[in-house]
A and B are shown apart, each in its own frame.
Chain A
Amino acid sequence: MNIRLFSYFVTLVIKSRMEYRGAFTIGVVGQVVGYAANYLVIWLLLQNFNTIQGWDWTEIAFLYSLNLLTYAIGASFTYTPMVGLDQIIVNGNFDMYLTKPLSPFLYFLANLFNIGYIAHILISSVVLIWSISQADITWTLYKAIYLLLAIISGSLLQAAGLIVIGSLSFIFLRVQYLFSIFFKLKEFIAYPISVYGTLLQIILTWIIPLAMINYYPSLYIFEDSLLTNKILGITALVIGPLSLYLAYRFWMYGANKYQGAGG
C-alpha cells in the first residue's frame, strides 16, 4: 500500500465522520475539556510548589504535551483497529483484511484510521507551542529537527505499544483490559520519572521504554548537563522506529497464527 492509497482511505474516513458533523464537534469539545482538566490539576499543583524535582510549570507542560501529542498521532493510526481487534476476530470480520492484494497490516490500519484524535492533537500542540515559547530554551535549527524527530519517534513508540497489545487478540479471546493497564502505565510518564526510585527509572527506560517518549527528549531539549541523559535523548530517536518494527513483526506473527500456519 502506498501513501496515496493510504491517504485515500483517510479521506473516506473523514468523509464518513463528517456525515455526523454535530456529534463529531461535540466530541472534540468534550475531549479538549477532558484534557484541559488534566492540565489544570498540574497547574494548580504547581501554584503551591513551583517545581517538581526542579521542573517548573512550563517544563512539565512541555513534558505532558509531548506525551499527549505523540499518543494522539500514534493512536490515530492504531487505537481503533487494535482495541477492536479481539471483537473483529470473534465476529469473523477479520477475514476481510485477508482478501485484498494489500498488506493486511496496513489495510487494517488504513481502514480503521480514526480522525477523532484531532482534539488531542489540537490541545496538546497548542500547549506544546505555548510552553516552548515560555520556557528558557535557546533554539537552533538542529534542536528544531531534533524535536520533530522526537515527535515522530514517540508517536511510533506509542503506536507500537497499542499494536503489541492488540496482537495478543490473536492468541487470547479478550484483551480489552490489557489496554487499560497500558494506559495506567502511561500515567507514570505524566511527570518526570526522576520522582521514582532507581529501579522504576530503569524499568521505564529499558524494559518498558515509556520514558523515551517524553522524558529524555525533554531533557535533551532543556539541555540537561548529564552525558548519559544526552545519550538517552539521542537513543530515544531510534527506539520508536525499532519498537514499531518489532510490534509489526509480532502482529504479523499473530495474523499468521490466525490463518492457521503451523498452529
Chain B
Amino acid sequence: MIYVEGLSKEYKQFNRASGVIGTIKNLFSREHTIVKAVDNISFSIEQGEAIGYLGPNGAGKSTMIKMLTGILVPTSGKVTVNHLVPHKSRQEIAKRIGIVFGQRSQLWWDLPVEDSFELHRRIYNIQDKDYQKNMDIFLDLLNLKEFITRPVRQLSLGQRMRAEIGLALLHNPDIVFLDEPTIGLDVIAKDNIRNFIRQMNRERKISIFLTSHDMKDIEEICGRMLIVNKGELIYDGTVEQLKSNLSASKIITIEFVVDPGDAVVLENAVLVNDSGIRKTFRIDKGLDSAIDFVQNLSKRYPIKDFVLQDSNIEDIIRMYYRSLEKDNSTQMTKQEKLSVIY
C-alpha cells in the first residue's frame, strides 16, 4: 500500500554571514549548503503492517512522513500510497490516512474535546453510524469519557495525546502516521497509547507508520523496523532479527591506567566511544571473544577496570550511530557548497 523507490529530499540551507561586511554580502549573495534529509531510500509496506521508523535527530524521519502524506514534494524518486502519488493527490489520500504529530496539536485549545471531534466528523464527512461506533470504542478504550466535555487547555499531556490519536483514527483510515506519539508522557500514559495502537493494528488491520525515540514504542507495536541515519536507510527487518544479530555482539568499556591513544587498533573490535583513558569497544563475536579481547589487550596496556555490557537494543543502536558518524566525518561527500548570486 506504500511503495517508495529511490526517494530523496534535499533542502537548501542558507548560511548567514555575520558582521557588517557579512550583512552587506548577505544582501547580494547567499551561500547555501545542500542538505540531503532523505537520501535514496526504498521500501514498501503492506496493508496491516506496523512499521517503526527509527533514527537520531535530523535523520530525516519527519521529512519522510511529510513526503508520504503529500505535505512535501520529493526532490527525486518514486512514492505511491494506495497507488496514488501523495503530493499530486494529496486531498484524496488525506481521506484515507490519519496523522498524529506528537509536538503539534489538532485540538481546539479553548474548546471541549468533543467540539474538535465534531469538526473532524464534518471535515471527513463521516457517516453517523460509523462515527457513533468509533466514538463508543474510543470513549472506552482511550478513556475519553473522563474528559471529553472539558476544554483542551485543562487536560494533561497524556489525555491530550489520547484525544489526538482518537481524532486521527476517527475516519477509519487505512494507515496512521504517528510522529513521536509518546514524547513527554509518563509510563502509564505511554502504555495506554501503545496498547490502543497495537489493538487497532491487529483488529482493524490499520497500517502503522511510527517514528519514535522510545525503542519500547517500536518493540511493542511494530513487527518491522526501518533504521535511518543521515538520510540513508541502514536497516530494514524485523525487530527480532535485529536483536539476534546484535545480541551476538558485546559492548566493553575499558578503563586504562594510561591513555594508549588512538593506537589501539584491534582485530574483531570496533572503537565506538573514546574519552581518553576510558574507551568503549564493540565486539561482534559473543562472550568468549570478549574475554579473549580483554586478555589480549591487558598484555599490551595496563588495564584498571572493565565493564561488560549486555546488548541493550537501545544502547547498541546509539553506538551504531556513533560509529557511523565517525566514518562520515572524514569524508564530507554529501555536502556541497554553492554560492548563488541573485
Contact = CB atoms under 8 A, between A and B. Distances in A.
Interface in A54-85: none
A261 B73 contact: yes
Nearest to A257: B73
A146 B73 CA distance: 45
A8 B72 contact: no
B36 to A, nearest CB: 13
Interface stretch (A98-106, A137-145, A181-189, A196-204): A98-106
B104 A101 contact: no
Given A260-B9, A260-B72, A101 B119 contact: no
A12 B72 contact: no
A95 B66 CA distance: 8
B104 A96 contact: yes
B69 A101 contact: no
Contacts, number: 64
Interface of A is mostly: helix
B87 A5 contact: no
Nearest to B66: A95
Which size bracket describes the interface of B in this complex?
A: 20 to 34
Nearest to B124: A101
A73 B284 CA distance: 70
B106 A5 contact: no
Nearest to B115: A12
Contacts of B70: 98
A19 B71 contact: no
A9 interface: yes
A127 B87 CA distance: 49
A102 B101 CA distance: 18
A180 interface: no
B71 A259 contact: yes
Contact of B111 (A4, A5, A16, A20): A16
B20 interface: no
B110 interface: yes
A22 interface: no
Which size bracket describes the interface of A in this complex?
A: 20 to 34
Contacts of A20: 110
B94 interface: yes
B23 to A, nearest CB: 14
B99 interface: yes
Interface in B82-108: 87, 90-92, 94-95, 99, 101, 104, 106, 108
B87 A259 contact: yes
A53 interface: no
Contact of A99 (B9, B69, B75, B118): B69
Interface string B40-75: 000000000000000000000000001001111111
A8 B122 contact: yes
Given A5-B123, A260-B9, A102 B75 contact: no
A100 B90 CA distance: 8
B150 to A, nearest CB: 12
A15 interface: yes
A16 B123 contact: no
A102 B123 contact: yes
**3 closest A-B pairs (Cβ-Cβ)?**
A101-B94, A16-B110, A98-B71
17 contacts: A8-B118, A8-B119, A12-B108, A15-B111, A19-B151, A93-B104, A95-B104, A96-B101, A98-B71, A98-B90, A99-B71, A99-B94, A101-B91, A101-B94, A101-B123, A101-B124, A260-B73
Given A101-B91, A101-B94, A259-B87, 5 more contacts: A5-B123, A20-B110, A96-B106, A103-B91, A260-B75
